[in-house]
Amino acid sequence: MPSQLTAHRSSALAGKVRAPGDKSMSHRSMIFGGMAVGVTTVEGLLEGDDVLASARAVEAFGAKVERTGEGEWRIEGAGGFKTPLSVIDCGNAGTGVRLLMGAAAGYPLTATFDGDASLRKRPMKRVTGPLADMGARFGWLAAEDRVPVALTGGTLTGIDYVQTVASAQIKSAILLAGLNAEGVTTVTEPEKSRDHTERMLRAFGAEVVVEEQGEGWKITLKGGQPLKATHVAVPGDPSSAAFPLAAGLIVPGSEVTVEGVMLNSLRTGLFDTWIEMGADLTIDNRREAGGEDVGDITARYSQLKGVVVPEERAASMIDEYPILAATAAFADGVTVMRGVGEMRVKESDRISLMVEGLRACGVQVEEEPEGFLVTGGPVQGGATVATAHDHRIAMSHLILGLAAEQPVSVLDPEMIATSFPGFVDMINGLGGEID
Ligand code: S3P
């Protein structure tokens, strides 16, 4: 991939495409398959760099991992992880490193986890803290709260953990450790976060009890439950589908359909928000696939209007605020996005990078500590935007550039391959102009 990509004002986009496999489910299928006894088969796996790093990790922990076709993988779990001979390099993947630390903590092993420059800046104590309370030991090798970190796993005891932020990564790490802990582990969430771990643990034969509690829920898991290999069909990623759909909404005359998109309601906050903004977004062919609701989504060009995004919706669209902001730049009026401080600890500080990038393109944006406000109108573009190697920042600005007056370039776009390897070809195949 070149060191920068440029999106040009495009004429109407049209066509049907298929979203790449869901990243959250792809990581989980690799990790659970690696922990299980027997052969797990996966179809529709996202073959992005983040998931491939998880595949290499479970291999290093002792599983046999093999690609058997496009998106088709076979994972032969050894029924437990062993000490790896080399450092576990999770690349750019926060989900990978946090879930793998939870999974590994319950086995008698030592392992060092590391990642790229972006991952080395992200907070890890949110996961190592509760895992240490369960009995795992961690040694920071460079700086506290950051990878590289050395883990010594072993005999764990279940805990009752009450989360302060709704985070599926923290919840999942604790539940995976709880599988091999003595006694019962519970995780209570203030608001519901994505529940792929709970659903997939059940598919792998574990008993998981979920009780509603206020706005959130309490998840209970008994220790000493071995996972049994199974087949996982990974549906399309709504977080990736968002990009071609956004292009459909903002480029005049467009009609874009993305087929096979997962519609788990804990992931679809962006689609609800777009509909409130007046988007012509329709969902057809609703069905079930891989234990999830799935459908085909069509986006037609729409003159959007600004809205206040309810703060309690944040967990169901936390990765989607960058692309929401890009579409809000074309809306009438102001779009208010608050209660999203977590955006600052993703692959980059996504609030600050979106504010900088949109402003460089002539968009009026106001930054707050835990949010930002975008005032829509015609978008000038004509800028080269820094992405801090963040895939979603790069893709959001490229989509913006398809409808801006002047071209928009993004620096360091290679990270797009972490979640959406075919992004440029897909957008150009629909009639967009990115080069
Ligand atoms: C993910 C959970 C979210 C999300 C990330 C994937 C997951 O992070 O941002 O891209 O697969 O569990 P948090 O759980 O930290 O909010």
What domains lie within the chain, and their CATH numbers? 4-21+235-434 (3.65.10.10), 23-233 (3.65.10.10)
Tell me whether residue 228 is exposed, middle or buried, using C-beta atoms within 10 angstroms of its C-beta: 0 to 12, 13 to 18, 19 or more.
middle
Encode the chain (435 residues) as per-residue pLDDT tens digits.
788 999 999 999 999 999 999 999 999 999 999 999 999 999 999 999 999 999 999 999 999 999 999 999 999 999 899 999 999 999 999 999 999 999 999 999 999 999 999 999 999 999 999 999 999 999 999 999 999 999 999 999 999 999 988 899 999 999 999 999 999 999 999 999 999 999 999 999 999 999 999 889 999 999 999 999 999 999 999 999 999 999 999 999 999 999 999 999 999 999 999 999 999 999 999 999 878 999 999 999 999 999 999 999 999 999 999 999 999 999 999 999 999 999 999 999 999 999 999 999 999 999 999 999 999 999 999 999 999 999 999 999 999 999 999 999 999 999 999 999 999 999 999 999 999
At 131, list the tokens.
């895992």
Beta bridge partners of 258: 17, 297
CB 95, CB 83: distance < 8 Å: no
Instruction: Write down how long the chain is.
Output: 435
Query: Model pTM greater than 0.75?
Result: yes
Whether residue 121 is annotated as binding a ligand: the answer is: no
pLDDT at position 289 is 82
The alpha carbon of 239 and the centre of ligand 1 are apart by a number of angstroms equal to 11
302 lines ligand 1 (CB under 6 A): no
Atom 13 of ligand 1 has which residue's CA nearest to it?
Answer: 167
pLDDT at position 24 is 98
356 lines ligand 1 (CB under 6 A): no
Mutating to test ligand 1, I would choose from 29, 50, 95 the residue with most ligand atoms within 8 A of its C-beta, which is: 95
CA distance 139 to 132: 11
C-alpha 70 chain-centroid distance: 21
pLDDT at position 291 is 83
CB 428, CB 13: distance < 8 Å: no
CB 402, CB 432: distance < 8 Å: yes
Is 319 among the residues known to form the active site?
Answer: yes
318 lines ligand 1 (CB under 6 A): yes
95 lines ligand 1 (CB under 6 A): yes
Active-site residue, from 114, 116, 319, 390: 319
The alpha carbon of 169 and the centre of ligand 1 are apart by a number of angstroms equal to 5
Task: Choose among 350, 344, 411: nearest CA to 2.
Answer: 411
The alpha carbon of 320 and the centre of ligand 1 are apart by a number of angstroms equal to 11
In the chain, the amino acid numbered 221 is L
- Residue 305 has what DSSP assignment? B
pLDDT at position 2 is 80
Residue 370 CA: distances (Å) to CA of 170, 274, 275, 340, 357: 20, 21, 24, 5, 18
195 lines ligand 1 (CB under 6 A): no
Q: Which residues contact 428 (CB under 8 A, 6 or more apart)?
A: 434
Q: Which residues contact 368 (CB under 8 A, 6 or more apart)?
A: 338
